[in-house]
Amino acid sequence: MENQEIERGRIADFLHRLNDNDIWWSFWHSPVAVLSAALALFMIFISVFASVIAPFNPFDLASLDLMDSSLPPVWQSGGDPRFLLGTDDQGRDILSTILYGSRISLLVGFVSVIFSLILGVGLGLISGYVGGRTDAIIMRIADVQLSFPAILIALLLDGVARTLLPKDVHSEIAIYVMIFAIAVSGWVQYARTVRSMVMTEKVKEYVQAGQVIGLGQFTIMWRHILPNVIGPVFVIGTLHLALAIIIEATLSFLGVGLPPTTPSLGTLIRIGNEYLFSGEWWITIFPGAALVAIALSVNLFGDWLRDAINPKLL
Amino acid sequence: MISFIIKRLLQSMLVMLTVAFISFGLFRFVGDPVSNMAGQDTSIEDRQELRKSLGLDDPVYIQFFNFTINAAQGKFGQSYMLREPVRELMAKRFPATLELALVSSVIAMLLGVPMGVYTAIRRNTLLSKAFMTISLMGVSLPTFLIGILLILLFGVTLRWLPTFGRGDVVQLGWWSTGLLTASGLKAIIMPAITLGIFQMTLIMRLVRAEMMEILRTDYIKFGRARGLSNRSLYFRHALKNTLIPVITITGLQIGSIIAFALITESVFQWPGMGLLFIQAVGNADVPIMAAYLVLIAFIFVVINLIVDVLYVIVDPRLRASSEGD
């Protein structure tokens, strides 16, 4: 009974603090932030629940009927009310393929950002805290990598994987290859930011105090320094999410990303691109619009978050 | 000064060596070069012969040494896919990519600088807000989607511009140019705009930020107090000072423009190096991948080096600090 009381008090306290927070305040007073967050959440929601929301399962070959192929959207003449945004050349419902495609795009984006973040923050912490030769080596690698655009690095990693693996194996694990390639191509920014912040943090008294009472290096880095440098990491992560989704879409569009068996938005745009000239614009344009909706909303939200947290290092 | 340049040169060489090492690793250890080059009916003796002629029986460090020497001369062997020397393939494609990159940079500068100046001076007008929105779209719209939209509008619906290829080209020595024929000029419009939009947004935001910074400085206030006209203040005094960082950033961007060109080239089937590289990645054609990587790295390193050295020459403050350490 008493425990519950305390628990409730804690939650109330937490909610109160959340409500009092500067960031929360600036969030509710920025229409752009609220709208972009709403749009991003909406896109995430419909892709997570794609299998429930989508009117058809585009991967269920039995439900496809070639009679339904290449139908225009409902509002154009010849449109079928069953297919709101029309169908592609195989009779798949565009709306459903977009929902499933967004799911794959967002999945690849989120997972690769998380890996990038772990890799970058870890290396940044070590680089900044340990210093010396370790720092020099890590930062030199970062410099070299930074002089190439992320998309080129991801492309190269994908090319290597393609060479190493037989073709059928590659298309089966293409999604992991893609996640790995995007994750590795993006760690540098996290590492640089975290490193420079750790360097200002590590001379502070609380770190010295930790060293004096004999805490291990790992404990100091993980438990004490990390929480103080994590804010800007979220900003980088948000903006990186938009970038990761765009990189994945671009590679898939170029035909070196996800195969048509697990189509992301980029793959869908690539497939649709072939029908652009015969006038079937909806096969390309609607997946493109979904991609822009995701990228734009995440970018706008990240922009706002950067201004709100105001990390001067960015 | 000299010691700084030598230090930077050594650093650049280290970067190039690293890239050469990665390319070498790709070539030597990713897949078997012999089975990639030999046909199915090549006899075992011929394979051995090929192995020997490629030097694959030498120790690895000698192989790496030979690879680096060859790479420095632009020799990357034969393409697995096209059975032609990589060097000639790249040389044939290079003019197309460079022309595209240059034309798009010029477009980006011509549009980006005025838009940046305007949004800095008239911050709250409707047109300014429109420009800022366009710039945000430029960041969020993936390059290939911009290309597709342009194709749909000007190629398919209006039928004004060709949707693929380079048009007719004229040979000037080994350089082939599409800029001297009507069809070549028409063909470059859409690819150049597609490639230029991202740079344009970057330049616009940079000019705007720099301009706003400079308009707050004392010398502009003094100029205003002296009764100089707005026009002379903005364009003769403020703009001149904003252009230094703009030119630097644009210069540094040339490398990434050439890399980004591969997306544009793929959308418009533009016969440049990027398209060649994409096809090489799809077909695991390692010699082309290695050559492209080394070439792009070389362009990056040279540009970075030039910019760094120019900075030190132009800005005496950097000279003092670089001599300090």
Select the residue of B140, B145, B280 nearest A299 (Cβ to Cβ): B140
Nearest to A123 by CA among A54, A71, A194: A194
Q: Which residues of B touch A281 (CB under 8 A)?
A: 152, 156
Nearest to A298 by CA among A110, A82, A136: A110
Alpha-carbon distance A269 to A257, whole Å? 12
Q: Which residues of B touch A162 (CB under 8 A)?
A: 281-282, 284
Q: Please state the rounded mean pLDDT for residues B293-316.
A: 78
Confidence of residue B315 (pLDDT cuts 50, 70, 90): low
Residues B81-138 pLDDT 10s = 777 888 888 888 888 888 898 899 889 889 988 999 899 888 888 888 888 888 877 7
Confidence of residue B314 (pLDDT cuts 50, 70, 90): low
In terms of CA atoms, which chain B residue is nearest residue A248? B142
Q: Closest Cα of chain A to B224: distance in Å? A: 32
Nearest to B108 by CA among B209, B235, B194: B194
With CB atoms and an 8 Å threshold, state whether B256 touches A149.
Answer: yes
Q: Which residues of A touch B143 (CB under 8 A)?
A: 250
- B143 close to A (CB below 8 A): yes
**∠ CA B239-B242-B245, rounded to 5°:** 150
Q: Is the predicted pLDDT of residue B319 greater than 70, yes or no?
A: no
Question: H or E segment at B171?
Answer: strand B170-172
Select the residue of B136, B142, B286 nearest A246 (Cβ to Cβ): B142
- B259 close to A (CB below 8 A): yes
Percent of chain B with pLDDT over 90: 2
Contact call for residues B105 and B222 (beta carbons, < 8 A): no
In terms of CA atoms, which chain B residue is nearest residue A259? B282
With CB atoms and an 8 Å threshold, state whether B281 touches A292.
Answer: no
What's the full length of chain B, in residues? 325
Q: Is the predicted pLDDT of residue A5 greater than 90, yes or no?
A: no
Alpha-carbon distance B110 to A296, whole Å? 26
With CB atoms and an 8 Å threshold, state whether A151 touches B260.
Answer: yes
Please, what are the domains in chain B?
87-273 (1.10.3720.10)
- B140 close to A (CB below 8 A): yes
Alpha-carbon distance B66 to B46, whole Å? 22
pLDDT at A291: 92
Contact call for residues A71 and A78 (beta carbons, < 8 A): yes
Alpha-carbon distance A123 to A138, whole Å? 7
Q: Closest Cα of chain B to A152: distance in Å? A: 7
Q: Please state the rounded mean pLDDT for residues A36-59.
A: 85
Alpha-carbon distance B158 to B151, whole Å? 9
pLDDT at A3: 66
With CB atoms and an 8 Å threshold, state whether A295 touches B300.
Answer: no
Structurally, at CATH architecture level, domain A2-55+91-313 sits in Orthogonal Bundle (1.10)
Residues B16-54 pLDDT 10s = 888 888 888 877 776 666 766 666 667 777 777 777 776
With CB atoms and an 8 Å threshold, state whether A254 touches B148.
Answer: no
pLDDT at A1: 52
- Mean pLDDT highest for which of A16-25, A240-249, B168-177, B204-213? A240-249
In terms of CA atoms, which chain A residue is nearest residue B25? A160
Work out the angle between the directed axes of helices A94-130 and A265-273 (0-180°, nearest 10). 130
Alpha-carbon distance B87 to B35, whole Å? 21
With CB atoms and an 8 Å threshold, state whether A269 touches B139.
Answer: no
Nearest to A239 by CA among A159, A281, A300: A300
Nearest to B307 by CA among B238, B223, B250, B225: B250
* pTM attached to this predicted model: 0.82
Whether the CA torsion B228, B229, B232, B235 is positive or negative: it is positive
Residues A241-271 pLDDT 10s = 999 999 999 989 888 888 887 888 888 888 8
pLDDT at A190: 92
Confidence of residue A314 (pLDDT cuts 50, 70, 90): very low
With CB atoms and an 8 Å threshold, state whether A155 touches B148.
Answer: no
Alpha-carbon distance B131 to A168, whole Å? 47
